[in-house]
Amino acid sequence: MMENLLKNSIKTLIPYTPKEITNVIRLDANENNYGSRLLNQKLTKALMEVNINQYPDTDCTQLRGMLAKGLMVSEEELLIGCGSDQLIVMLLNAFIDKGDKIVTSSPTFSMYKISNQIAGGETIEVPLSQDFEFDYYAFIKAIKKENPKLVFITNPNNPTGGVIPREQIIKIIEHSNAIVVVDEAYHEFYKESVMDLTSYYPNLVVLRTLSKAYGLAGARIGYSVASKELTGLIKRVKPPYNVSSLDQAAARVCLDNKPLFDGIIEEIILQRERLTKELSKLEAVKVYKSFGNFLLVRYGKATELYNYLLEKGIVIRYFGGGGALENCLRISIGTAEENTILLGVLGDYFGIENKGASLKQAVNCVI
């Protein structure tokens, strides 16, 4: 009976439901497994100084100031969200009426479509190529045909790891009447950005997060950079006190100690290349080039491999059967030790003996 009261757009919604699995090596959520342990004492001190009985600073004034200085933008061009997810919802709440359209790629970050369906909008998905490469001409064609209000681009893309050249993003911005949202959640592992273009294009929004490179997935901090005018429009739908005082304090400590993460980021990139090299030696496994902190692989017995790794205490992301991601698995880049364990377990699964530069030998080669 209660279900009949649901919004029509929600009746067919398949929610995003993260799996809660404990006592395993977590390589499924694109987290930074090096984490922020280096900052534990500083984090504890900062959190102890929070007046938890008081509402948080609704504008995240100190945090915005720190980010603005580091990014060389004005504070009026910045918004802080409870993770990038909330900023995506804010964009949809500000600009999408029932039936309005957004255009994005497929496969890509699922929350664009899920959040848009909740908002009552229609999502136009432009398929990537068979090898998960961005189809620029099909994307432009869809924008011109559908006349969307919002365009979402993830660069690097999740879950494929591929990227879109800067010149193609510029052409998309210039050929669109929509607001173009470039989600750079994995920017630190790719280095390229279009954030510098927000001063030139009033319809451009760039999203970033502290969850991936900076190990703050448990403190929900995302931010957007756009022109002052566009930021002001988005801010109209920002909930008051949307980022807790605890999360703001954790983010400030993180930014105060940002240089500590530079080496960790470079290590994750090295580990990404290590796993790419070793997994590519398996003839049965297709490894896609990635610029994120994860790898997408395709294997004909993906379900079997996923379950085998889980039995051995390693969890990766399995996308299920059907669609473009059929038999695909996404492996987050763990620490050197975790990756060594992963390679050893994979060596056992594929029955690789000591011959040449095998996965078995790789377990003794920690970068």
Q: What are the pLDDT digits (tens) for 176-234?
A: 999 999 999 999 999 999 999 999 999 999 999 999 999 999 999 999 999 999 999 99
Inform me whether the pLDDT recorded for 354 exceeds 50: no
- CATH no. of 51-256: 3.40.640.10
The H or E element spanning position 268 is: helix 259-279
pLDDT in the model for residue 21: 65
The H or E element spanning position 45 is: helix 40-48
pLDDT in the model for residue 205: 98
**∠ CA 15-218-267, rounded to 5°:** 110
Rounded-to-integer distance, Cα 295 and Cα 285, Å: 12
Q: Are 152 and 181 in contact (CB under 8 A)?
A: yes
Could you tell me the residue ranges of all domains in the chain? Answer: 2-30+259-362, 51-256
Inform me whether the pLDDT recorded for 133 exceeds 90: yes
Q: Are 21 and 41 in contact (CB under 8 A)?
A: no
pLDDT digits (tens, 9 = 90+) for 11-34: 787 776 666 665 689 999 999 998
Rounded (to 5) percent helix, strand, coil in the chain = 40, 15, 40
Q: The dihedral of CA 88, 94, 99, 101: what is its sign?
A: negative
C-alpha to C-alpha distances, 152 to 16, 17, 84, 207, 222, nearest whole angstrom? 18, 22, 13, 10, 16
pLDDT in the model for residue 358: 44
Alpha helices in 52-135 (DSSP H): 61-71, 83-95, 111-119
Rounded-to-integer distance, Cα 321 and Cα 303, Å: 9
Which class is 2-30+259-362 in CATH?
alpha beta
Distance from the first to the final alpha carbon of the chain: 58
Report which residue type is found at 32. Answer: N
Q: What is the mean pLDDT of the chain?
A: 92
pLDDT in the model for residue 40: 83
**pTM across the whole model:** 0.92
pLDDT in the model for residue 356: 36
From the list 162, 201, 211, 199, the residue with the least C-alpha distance to 180 is: 201
**Cis-peptide, bond into residue 56, ω within 30° of zero:** no
Rounded-to-integer distance, Cα 19 and Cα 17, Å: 6
Q: Which parts of the chain are beta strand (E)?
A: 25-27, 78-81, 101-106, 122-127, 150-154, 179-183, 204-209, 222-226, 285-287, 294-299, 314-318, 328-332
